[in-house]
A and B are shown apart, each in its own frame.
Chain A
Amino acid sequence: MPVELDQVSYTYAPGTVFEAAALDRVTVSIEDGEFVGIMGHTGCGKSTMIQLIAGLLVPSSGKVLLDGCDINDGGYRRGELRKRVGIVFQYPEYQLFESTVEKDVAFGLKHLALNSAEVRSRVAWALETVGLNYGEICRESSLGLSGGEKRKVAIAGVLAMKPQILILDEPIAGLDPVARDSFMQLLDRLHNGGTTIIIVSHNADILGDFTRRILVLNKGSLVMDGAVKDVFSDVAQMEALNLDVSRPRKIAHLLGQRGVAIPQDIVRYEELLTALTHLKKSGGLP
């Protein structure tokens, strides 16, 4: 089920003194089962773009297509869209409101015409997937949990819908490195299970480790789009956009500048290590 943006523009507060183009004629297509990262400076249009894909904003012009159908067409069923596209906002824990964890996770399922056994098994699956023990936690009050657990519950609430496309806005902001890694492993498992994943993040290392493709937005325009190693290969442009490349890439870049013959398509630590070991063996290191 590919997602396509066709010449999509979005203008905030049109017709007022605050009028501002948040997205300007962006055309992009994301295939089934991709793991895509979106990067860009604050105010570049990242949030606008993912909200357009999720159908939470309606484009000022252009089309958002899901499986070839315009989601903003009058005949398109919103319920279907909600089922297929899940979105995890920044600080998702702030959307919890029910008296128990079970009810909070099951909130979205109410609209899906499932029987109670199916609902329970979905809730259990979602909670186990994010690493919580269903039996222990389901009767707890979701508002009394710790911050980390609350976030997991909120994400479970989105996963329970079993979306085919999962969009995440800065999901790892404020997590410690261990929690961050285990969260990304979870996304990786979902991705391996066939879910399309679109993640917005500032963290170039994480994007380098897990995503296959990166989109870079700047002032509402799509300025780069390609495989991670291709996007990160242009260190100069990324710096001009005030964005990081992954640290291994940066190291390789600096070494290259010093005249070390190291490949310039390195993105991850393992690749850097292999390359350095190789260089050492061949005597390429000074």
Chain B
Amino acid sequence: MNRMPIGQYIPGDSLIHHLDARVKLIAFILLISTIILTDSVPGYCSLMVLTAGLLFVSKVKLKTALGFIQSLFLFLMVIFVMNTLFFDSAQPICSWWIFHISLGGMAQGANVVLRVIFLMIFSSVLMATTAPMEAAFALKSLLRPLQYIRIPTEDLAIMISVAVQFIPVLMEETEMIRKAQTARGAKFESARLREKAASVMPLVIPIFLGAFRRADELSLAMEARGYRGGKNRTQNKQKPLRKQDILALLTAAAVCFIQAYAF
């Protein structure tokens, strides 16, 4: 089954689905900054309205967008409790040893938890509307400006492309190895710590051997064809941004601006 994993992507036909992935990534970053700049009740209310609008336009179901809550519940609780207990406040409600419970601490905890929740909702929308493949390539092209601070972005871009192509191949090979070792009686579990490591060796070592063998073959082929590094590679033509992409970008920037100044 030579298939790409699709993560949380839900193929669809909404306005957001059709936006350029680069635009979505930048807008996502803008929205995150918006979240970080927010720390008042009216601010969170306006974020809530914004989220509702986004869900409506992207046709992502609220249930999907909040799907992370179950897996992150403990994490959110820990953040809240940590902040509540360790927040240094002038007027603690009660104190014991290094723990101080205060209203300020609870507010801080709620603040952090709310930020994480909004961050996760926005990321759910991004992931649900963007095929991972497109997102990876958008990431690649957004790295390009980094070349001005002498980061070899061309090489990075090639590594990302190769990595993405290897994902389904390695998945399939991994599945085969797991089955082959299972058929020979391997059990990938053990109670004792050292044996735990040993029990996954039959799985992990062949996976790495297979991956590096393929990498070795590919790099030999690339060198044989005269490839020496990213420098002189002809670039893939990038699709220009369309009207709706630019409009979306401007909207996101405006939202970020208003949110930052109004609240």
List residues of chain A with CB under 8 Å of any chain B CB: 12, 17-18, 51, 54, 56, 79, 82-83, 85-87, 89-90, 92, 94-97, 107-108, 110-112, 143, 157-158, 161
Contact A107 B184 (CB under 8 A): yes
B176 to chain A, nearest CB (A): 6
Q: Is B196 on the interface with A (CB-CB < 8 A)? A: no
- CB contacts (< 8 Å) of A89 on chain B: these are 176, 179-180
Among A17, A87, A96, A143, contact of B183 (Cβ-Cβ < 8 Å): A87
Give chain B interface residues in 195-221, CB to chain A under 8 Å. 201-202, 205-206, 209-210
- B185 CB contact (under 8 Å) in A94, A96, A111, A143: A111
Q: Tell me the complex Cα distance, A85–B173, Å.
A: 22
Complex-state Cα separation, A213 to B184, whole angstroms: 27
Minimum CB distance partner of B213 in chain A = A94
Cβ-defined contact, B202 with A97, below 8 A: yes
Nearest opposing residue in chain A for B3, CB measure: A18
Query: Contact partner of A157 among B184, B201, B210, CB < 8 A?
Result: B184
- Residue of B180, B181, B206 with highest tally of chain A CB at under 10 A: B180
Q: Decide: A161 and B202 in contact? CB cutoff 8 A.
A: no
Closest residue on chain A to residue B182 by CB atoms: A56
How many angstroms from the CA of A163 to the CA of B173 in the assembled complex? 24
Docked-complex contact B179 and A94, CB < 8 angstroms: no
Contact A95 B11 (CB under 8 A): no
A87/B206 in contact, CB under 8 A? no
**Is B173 in contact with A95, judged by CB distance below 8 angstroms?**
no
Q: Which of A12, A94, A111 contacts B209 (CB 8 A)?
A: A94
Chain B contact residues, CB within 8 Å of chain A: 1, 3, 11, 173, 176-177, 179-187, 201-202, 205-206, 209-210
Task: Check A82–B202 contact: CB distance below 8 A.
Answer: no
Choice from B3, B11, B185, B209 contacting A82 with Cβ under 8 Å: B185
A79–B184 CA distance with the chains assembled, in angstroms: 9
Interface pair A97/B176, CB less than 8 Å apart? no
* Interchain residue pairs with CB less than 8 A apart (9): A56-B182, A82-B182, A95-B180, A95-B181, A97-B205, A97-B206, A107-B184, A158-B183, A161-B185
| B180 contacts A87, C-beta separation under 8 Å | yes
B185 touches A95 (CB 8 A): no
Which residues in A have their C-beta under 8 angstroms from that of B206? Answer: 94-97
In-complex Cβ contact of B1 among A12, A17, A87, A110 (8 A): A12
Flag if B177 contacts A95 (CB, 8 Å). yes
Given the known A-B contacts A17-B11, A89-B176, A94-B173, are A79 and B185 also in contact in the complex, defined by CB atoms under 8 Å?
yes
Q: Are B210 and A94 in contact (CB under 8 A)?
A: yes
Given contacts A12-B1, A17-B11, A94-B206, contact A161 B184 (CB under 8 A): yes
Cβ-closest 10 pairs across A and B:
A108-B184, A97-B205, A111-B185, A82-B185, A95-B180, A87-B183, A56-B179, A108-B185, A89-B180, A97-B206
Q: Which residues of B contact A54 (CB under 8 A)?
A: 183
In angstroms, Cα B144 to Cα A271, docked, is 68
Residues of A with C-beta under 8 A to B3: 18
CA distance A85 to B179 in the complex (A): 13
Contacts of A143 in B (CB 8 A): 209
Q: B184's closest neighbor in chain A, by CB? A: A108
In angstroms, Cα B210 to Cα A136, docked, is: 26
Contacts of B187 in A (CB 8 A): 111
Once the chains are docked, how many angstroms separate the CA of A17 from the CA of B131? 14
Cα-based distance from A278 to B233 in the complex (angstroms): 68
- Asked if residues A97 and B179 are in contact (CB atoms below 8 Å), the reply is no
> Cα distance A18–B173 when bound, in Å?
19
Partner of A97, one of B11, B183, B201: B201
* Distance, CA A97 to CA B205, complexed state (A): 6
**If A79-B185, A82-B185, A111-B185 touch, does A97 touch B180 (CB 8 Å cutoff)?**
no
Q: How far is the CB of B201 from chain A (nearest CB, A)?
A: 6
Give B10's nearest chain A residue, CB to CB.
A17
Q: Give me 6 other A-B pairs in contact (C-beta within 8 A), A79-B185, A95-B177 excluded.
A: A82-B184, A89-B176, A95-B202, A97-B202, A107-B186, A108-B185
- Shortest A127–chain B CB gap in Å is 16
Q: Which residues of A contact B182 (CB under 8 A)?
A: 56, 82
Q: Which residues of B contact A87 (CB under 8 A)?
A: 180, 183
Most chain B CB atoms below 10 A, which of A56, A90, A161: A56
Of chain B, the residue at the smallest CB distance from A95 is B180
